[in-house]
Amino acid sequence: MTDNASKNNTSKPLRILVGVGGGIAAFKAAHLVRYFTERGHNVHVVPTESALNFVGAATWEALSGNPVSTTVWDDVSGVQHVRLGQEADLIVVAPATADLMARLRMGRADDLLTASCLVATCPVVIAPAMHTEMWENPATQDNVATLRSRGITVLEPAHGRLTGKDSGPGRLPEPDHIGALALAAHAQPGIFHQDLVGTRVVVTAGGTHEELDPVRFLGNASSGRQGYALADVAAQRGADVHLIAGHTEDLPTPSGARVTRISSALELKDATEQAAREADVVIMAAAVADYRPAQQADSKLKKGGEDQLEVIELVENPDILAGLVELRRAGELPEGLRIVGFAAETGDSESTPLEHAQRKFLRKGCDLLMANAVGRGKVFGQEDSAGWLITNPFGSDNPEALEVREVPAGHKLEVAGAILNALPNT
């Protein structure tokens, strides 16, 4: 995530309580505190007593600008053990150990952090971090399920290097990633509810590169952020996510998602059609090049040489989205497969971006279309987006009869939540 001033912030500073459990990943919470304070939020850090074995209270006070305590016996006259949780707009616990989640599940209030969580009425986001065996233990999974059933957001841990030589699920996601997810949970309550458990979701993301020679290509400005956000939110909502990624910025891999890397539009077509055969939902968020060079040189084309670059002959790439719809119609893909498309449009003298998108929706035949008005400094490469969701509930062939729902400007995680909320039923 970048430090763009418009990221999933709110119109006024939030009062955020950052809880820190006693795990080696506690050092990452220092960066999480910085993430929130740099966005103007007021942060109180409440570590457990064990957490202070990893990072001292002086560090938390310096980063947050607020006093730090672990016990309910400090500031008794100010009723701190109740006040902090009551006044918080958002609580983020990172890292959350297996022991801490067990205590939260049982409703314990034996230190300042658990007491604060127990009185909270604001969104509570928990980012677990522990060894794989602890995370996968039935007791931990039962605790996670119970906390989620109570409306608490328990994020999926990342896969990667753990303490020592171990590697696997259980790694704390990167602090900026946690921060963005937590602010999305505040901005859009319920964005991570578990409605996609057991749903197989394929998401395409990023731009394609159409090779001209070994060092040159035709491409576009897509960063892949919206596709990654969709994969991220879908995975956090319990889906089995397969992310097919083209060329993207250096983005954190969505926790638990399988990733297939592609480069060209033809590679994207093959990978998507194969993945769609075992999917319930396909979301085509990738920015696919419309054309590719008719010839790809084996060596770099030189200036002034016999093979110098003067004219590029182009051929049209296949329409992957429309092709998926046709394969479904022909019975080669599951009948209940839901297909979501994207339309990045600019207006012209004849039509607005929305009018262009409405006609595109009818041409493609998909079930849901997310339309954006794009341009220089808009949508591509940005953390925020906005647009319209287009559906055809009555099967009309008239663009004016389509159902259009506006998606207000927000972080692409929030836009992803709106898109997933709008998925048509099978």
Give the catalytic positions in this structure: 220
Strands annotated E in 309-373: 314-316, 338-345, 368-373
Contact indicator for 145, 128 with CB cutoff of 8 Å: no
Structure tokens given for 235: 């995975």
Residue 298 in marked binding region: no
Residue 262 in marked binding region: no
CA 8 to chain centre: 12
Residue 321 in marked binding region: yes
Closest CA to 218 of 289, 286, 269: 289
Residue 300 in marked binding region: yes
Structure tokens given for 388: 């319209």
Contact indicator for 132, 170 with CB cutoff of 8 Å: yes
Q: How far is CA 25 from CA 30, 97, 154, in A?
A: 10, 10, 17
Contact indicator for 202, 244 with CB cutoff of 8 Å: yes
Contact indicator for 283, 204 with CB cutoff of 8 Å: yes
Q: Are strands 216-218 and 210-213 parallel, antiparallel or unpaired?
A: antiparallel
Residue 412 in marked binding region: no
Residue 360 in marked binding region: yes
Q: Is residue 359 helix, strand or coil?
A: helix
Phi and psi at 146, nearest 5°, equal: -65, -45
Stated as kind and residue range, the H or E segment containing 358 is helix 353-364
Structure tokens given for 164: 């020592």
Residue 361 in marked binding region: no
Residue 394 in marked binding region: no
Residue 342 in marked binding region: yes
Contact indicator for 103, 116 with CB cutoff of 8 Å: no
DSSP H helical ranges for 94-174: 98-106, 112-119, 132-136, 138-149
C-alpha to C-alpha distance for 245 and 123, rounded to whole angstroms = 31
C-alpha to C-alpha distance for 319 and 51, rounded to whole angstroms = 53
Closest CA to 70 of 21, 121, 129: 21
Known binding residues for CTP:
290, 300, 318-321, 342, 360, 364
Known binding residues:
290, 300, 318-321, 342, 360, 364
